[in-house]
Amino acid sequence: MPVFALLVISKAGSLIYHRTLPTSTSASTSSSGSQPATGTLGLPGTTSLTTNDYLVLAGTFHGVHAITKNVTPKFLANSASSSDHPPAPTTNGVTGKASSFRYPIPDAPVTGIESLESSFFKLTVFQSLTGTKFLLFTDPSMPNTDGLIRGIYDRFADHVCKNPFWHIDNPIRLDGWERALNQFLFRR
């Protein structure tokens, strides 16, 4: 199971759940065997990571996510002569009277990072409509991470959001959620 870790970040940017998964199988099957000793995340650098480091990472990512949404390229709406992107007037691309512009894909909503690739891992991000972000660290070769993260979101909705003892944006310490997650990730 080449899933390294799951992080859940609240809409305020704080880490509300963090779990690293044992990756004994992935170290032997997915990598070329050249990696040094694997840590908790199955990655060489994570042996020394503390909970505090994860909190910092979550906060950093929250900010970066907002910036990546902001730096989306914008084109002049009237220069839409490119054949690749037929001009589609949309409420999405127009903000004011003076500066009317459009985004590269006018029909799609503008989001922050949806996936990130590095040499050793792939990060898939899913942001729910309420702003909660799910970060799934997997092996770069792992297929269908979008489906996986949707499944995790389903479990989150059922076992966390619907739990009356959980208050929104509080850290998640719920046995039912852990069980559902285990079942979903390991017995699929």
Residues near other proteins (CB under 8 A): 36, 41, 43-46, 49, 53, 57, 60-61, 63-64, 67-77, 79, 81-84, 95-96, 98-99, 101, 103-105, 108-121, 137
Q: With respect to other proteins, which residue has the nearer C-beta, 51 or 83? A: 83
Q: Supply the minimum distance, in Å, between the C-beta of residue 25 and other proteins.
A: 19
Q: Supply the minimum distance, in Å, between the C-beta of residue 159 and other proteins.
A: 27
Q: With respect to other proteins, which residue has the nearer C-beta, 109 or 164? A: 109
Using the structure block, give the residue that is written with the tokens 């908790």. Answer: 40
3: left (phi over 0), alpha (psi -120 to 50) or beta: beta
SS3 102: strand
Q: With respect to other proteins, which residue has the nearer C-beta, 75 or 184? A: 75
Quote the tokens at residue 141. Answer: 């070769």
Quote the tokens at residue 117. Answer: 């690739």
140/36 Cα distance (integer angstroms): 17
